[in-house]
Amino acid sequence: MESQRKHARSFSFEFFPPRDEAGRTKLRETVAQLRQLRPRFFSCTFGAGGSTREGTYDTVKELQDQGLKAAPHLTCIGTSREFIRELLQAYAALGIDRLVALRGDLPSGLPNTGGDFRYATELVEFVRSETGDRFAIEVAAYPEFHPEAASAEDDLEHFASKVRAGADSALTQYFYNADAYFRFVDECESRGIDIPIVPGIMPITNYKQLARFSDRCGAEIPRWIRKRLESYGDDLESVRAFGLDVTTELCDRLLRAGAPGLHFYTLNRAGPSCIVWERLGL
Ligand code: FAD
């Protein structure tokens, strides 16, 4: 963890583009609360294949218009160079200076029309070749390894290739095993990777939803956490109380060990992140 300690801490919050007016109103309330915490940036996800192109653009524009720093996610699977070029120009015109560059997963049902990119590394290379250092580039990292990776070694090598292509920092998939993160960071360090690797934090508030997400993205819910959460059944208050305790303890341990900040998956809600933030005394 030594290489991580030297980086300035970065705190950030992730949103998804709201789907309707009620969602937009709710997100505005969330932003009003979270901006008080003065994060480095707010990021907004992007549907693979460009499916939320307008929603992501409108969300980051609204944030930038309020004088906040927004970082749009950009996924490349199923898209063309021209499509990405146009988005880069649109984001530069908005004054955006940070992107989260990803491969993405095409949802079943969306046709994979081939596209010009296969992996996030190619997107990072493309952004650098088109726009030089105009944008800071964040990439994804997987302390418990990406579900499609053939081996841990391969996944580390692919992560290293994103860094060589020009990534400035990384945001991790969420995890509840702090040791997986520490080991991942140490292995990156021994490969000479010294960009900040900021832990992604998913506050636990809803077990069924968390289990669904985790099945999809390969994040492990440790057995002792799963068993406890299952035992609360429909007692949502207890799920939330236990979940926020576990989340706070995880964040505390990560920060004490030298993690260079935290990136919260907010699901467009301020409450859980604010509670963890307050308890950490940030
Ligand atoms: P990559 O880095 O390209 O890796 C994908 C897989 O390919 C890995 O298994 C890797 O080991 C392997 N690989 C990489 N290069 C090679 C190579 N040269 N040869 C063989 N194998 C290779 N998804 C969205 O759709 N929208 C979002 O907004 C979004 N935001 C995210 C934010 C964060 C912080 C994280 C962690 C994930 C996010 N995702 C998002 C999910 C992400 O798109 C998926 O996890 C996706 O499956 C992988 O994306 P990646 O950028 O990590 O891909």
pLDDT in tens, 80-103: 999 999 999 999 999 999 999 999
Q: Which residues pair with 71 in a beta bridge?
A: 43
Ordered structural domains, the chain, with CATH: 8-280 (3.20.20.220)
* pLDDT tens digits, one per residue of 36-75: 999 999 999 999 877 788 999 999 999 999 999 999 999 9
Q: With a 6 A CB cut-off, is 60 part of the ligand 1 pocket?
A: no
Atom of ligand 1 nearest to the CA of 56: 28
Cα(128) to ligand 1 centroid in Å equals 18
Tokens read off for 172: 């991790």
Q: What pTM value is reported for the model?
A: 0.97
Residues acting as catalytic residues: 14
Q: Which two tokens stand for residue 216?
A: 């999809």
Q: Are 156 and 187 contacting, i.e. CB atoms less than 8 angstroms apart? A: yes
With contact defined as beta carbons under 8 Å apart, do 16 and 43 qualify? no
What is the ipTM score, two decimals? 0.99
Asked if 56 contacts 45 with a C-beta cutoff of 8 angstroms, the reply is yes
Is a pLDDT exceeding 70 seen at residue 110? no
> 200 CB less than 6 Å from ligand 1?
yes
Q: What is the pLDDT of residue 71?
A: 98
